[in-house]
Amino acid sequence: MRKQGRVLRDPRLGPGLLMVEGRQVPFAMEGVWLSETPPRPGLLVDAEIDRHGTVREIRVARESSHQPLGAEAASLLSANRAARARMSSALATLVVAGTLVAGWWFLTAVSIRTPLPERLDLTFWDLLGYINAGGGLDLLDPQDSPNPGVYGGLALFALMAALVQFWWKDRRALFGGLLPLILMVLAAIAVRGPLQKAIELATAAPGHSAALAPDTHRGILSSVSLGLGGYLSLSAATWVCFISLKNFAHWRAGKRAPSASYRKAA
């Protein structure tokens, strides 16, 4: 049975696909494509299809080999592109979420070399807890992990806000992508106070000389270094911030374009 259709996918780049009477019909290249003109998306063809739906022969239609895609095929291609875009967004969501969760809750964000014979490895969640506690000797106690309180809630909110833009296509969602980076910067500034307070209490304790306090300050603060979690979460937060600003710039450009065209026409 001979029917007309259009090529949707080049069989040289993967499984061939025809659009025939609103249906997608797969086909192979070898032994089936009988025309000298190579297949390309949008090409109108005459296909010989058996009763089982298998394509036996394909020849390029003479009268319309250069016609554009029909409405159905164009709609299908557009839907395929939209599906690929959604898959890319979903993958980006998973990667960003996984990186931030790992970097904030499970991996070491900062390492602190203290005067004690051990090193403190703290997650970002731990840092939020020490900021909430307001400092003290707890910071120098590796066995203690203060509750982050309201700062923990802010971290959860920032994480969810950063991911909303991947499935909610509204310009307001773009601002959520800035929150993780802003939170990390503010936390880095805020934790300096509790850290200094902990050092002051430690150097004022029995067995520590007050004269050594300034040196201890400088020694502790200079021995703070980023861990793997800090690098990963900072990279993910920066990437989300960049994507948000880029998408917002595109939205602003699209919003201004009609007005500019109107003024030009006027």
Res. 114: pLDDT tops 70? no
What are the CA-CA distances from residue 151 to residues 1, 129, 133, 190, 254 (Å)?
69, 8, 10, 11, 37
Per-residue pLDDT band at 221 (split at 50, 70, 90):
low
Per-residue pLDDT band at 155 (split at 50, 70, 90):
very high
Average pLDDT taken over every residue of the chain: 77
Residue 147 CA to residue 89 CA, distance in Å, equals 34
Q: Which of 116-130, 189-203, 204-218 shows the lowest mean pLDDT across its residues?
A: 204-218
Res. 27: pLDDT tops 80? yes
- Phi then psi for residue 208, to 5 deg, are -115, 140
Query: How confident is the model at residue 266, as a pLDDT?
Result: 40
Q: Which of 8-12, 53-57, 103-107, 198-202 shows the lowest mean pLDDT across its residues?
A: 198-202
Q: What is the model's pTM?
A: 0.60
Query: How confident is the model at residue 76, as a pLDDT?
Result: 62
List alpha helices for the chain, DSSP H. 71-101, 124-133, 150-164, 171-174, 179-190, 192-204, 213-222, 228-265
Residue with tokens 């310009």: 171
Query: How confident is the model at residue 184, as a pLDDT?
Result: 95
Per-residue pLDDT band at 37 (split at 50, 70, 90):
confident
Contact predicate 44/61, CB 8 Å: yes
Residue 28 CA to residue 222 CA, distance in Å, equals 66
Query: For the segment 244-261, what is each residue's pLDDT rounded down to a tens digit?
Result: 888 888 777 766 544 333
Q: What angle do CA 126, 127, 130 make, to 5 degrees?
A: 90
For each of the domains in the chain, give its residue range(s) and CATH number, in order of start.
2-69 (2.40.50), 84-249 (no CATH)
